Amino acid sequence: MSSCQAPLLIEDSSLQGWTVIGSGGFGQIFKARHCRWGCDVAIKLLRCDDGTSASLLREIDMMRLGSSPHVILVRGVFKGRVPPSSYAQLGLVMEFMERGSLATVQDNLHGAPPWPLVFRLAHQVALGVNFLHSLTPALLHLDLKPGNVLLDNDLNAKLTDFGLSRLYHSVKRCSQKASEEEGGTLSYMPPEAFQLTYKPTRASDIYSYGILLWSIVTGTKPYAHAKSSLVRFRIPEGDRPPLDEIKLQAAGLAGLTRLTELMERCWDSKPEKRPSALACTTEAEELYKMHKLNISDAVHQVLKKLDQREEEIMMEQIERVHVTPVSASEREEVKIRDTVPTGHPPIQEMAVSGTTNRRDLAGAKDRPSRRTMA
């Protein structure tokens, strides 16, 4: 149990303008405006809750231990009704991160950010993990992945979602209930996690950090097209995400070879050979310093792309809801035309269609991203 004082209780009367911004197995995440604070907050709710959820209360306790610039800030506990719901729910009230998760940013960029931001993200995530591991007792995150790295409006990273977190001393037990609670995201789980006798340690997070580094550098998901059953089998056998493309890029970029070597050490099959979070932080900081002078331009470049993408999405939504009224006579004409058999399309039309499809398919092939320093 935490020795922290009781968290601030935030009722529904203090919040307005509820908007869904995410969801998961636990429930939904909302954005709302706190009337008295004058700022937006994020609220993580459970799907079904009677107001005494042990899992969410436990997460609140865990996250309140993590007071760091690179760990999400918990502002309080929500208990009340979310419009238009008629029953009370329990939730976690956190600071709102304007740019969402790293996973969302990767999707909108269709790849990785510029190199200065890649190295800063590697450093800031390491800082968050190191803070958690340096607590007494150590706090294990156990679900490090792009979806649990949130970004503010300057693209600074903070760790979130401590739903699987464990105090290090509390996992040294073998009960069936404890083992059922252990989990994570399959592609980021260490090989020892697939063993029946698995007991998470700091090295478990370090392995996930190594896979996360790969995702940050490539802008893609590990084992994106592999079946989960195959991933579950091959990770303990030593399979890891491919490094060929990264090593080709490393020849002309300062620090990328060392960053690649760091991720390989982090995802070593033997937990005892993985570096500590402090060692990861120290090396990531040294590598970031090589690119620090260009970070402002890199952030500006990414924010510009994200804003353009938001405008495109907005226009797509407007176009979908804009429907031109059709007169009664036009509707009747369409109805009659639809009932008359027309036979096969003209040969020329088919040929044009086939050409267009081949061109579209050729253009849809994945290509490795090319990036230069901003």
Which positions are annotated as active-site residues? 143
Give the CA count within 13 Å in the CB-facing half-sphere of 125.
30
Residue 337 tokens read as 């035309």
Residues 262 and 217: their CA atoms lie apart, in Å, by 12
**From the CB of residue 198, how many other CB atoms can be counted at a distance below 10 Å?**
16
Residues 51 and 184: their CA atoms lie apart, in Å, by 25
Residues 21 and 33: their CA atoms lie apart, in Å, by 13
Residues 310 and 306: their CA atoms lie apart, in Å, by 6
β-bridge partners, 177: none
Residues 348 and 364: their CA atoms lie apart, in Å, by 24
Residue pair 114/374 in contact (Cβ under 8 Å)? The answer is yes
Residue 33 tokens read as 């405006």
Residue with tokens 């706190």: 34
Q: What is the dihedral of CA 356, 362, 368, 372, to 10 degrees?
A: -40
- How buried is 31 (Cβ within 10 angstroms: 0-12 exposed, 13-18 middle, 19+ buried)? middle
Residues 294 and 124: their CA atoms lie apart, in Å, by 16
Q: What is the DSSP letter of 188?
A: G
341 upstream amide cis, omega within 30 of 0:
no
Cα–Cα separations (whole angstroms), residue 220 to 103, 135, 308:
9, 32, 21
Using only C-alpha atoms, what is the Rg of the chain? 24
Q: In terms of DSSP H, where are the helices of 219-276?
A: 228-234, 244-250, 256-266
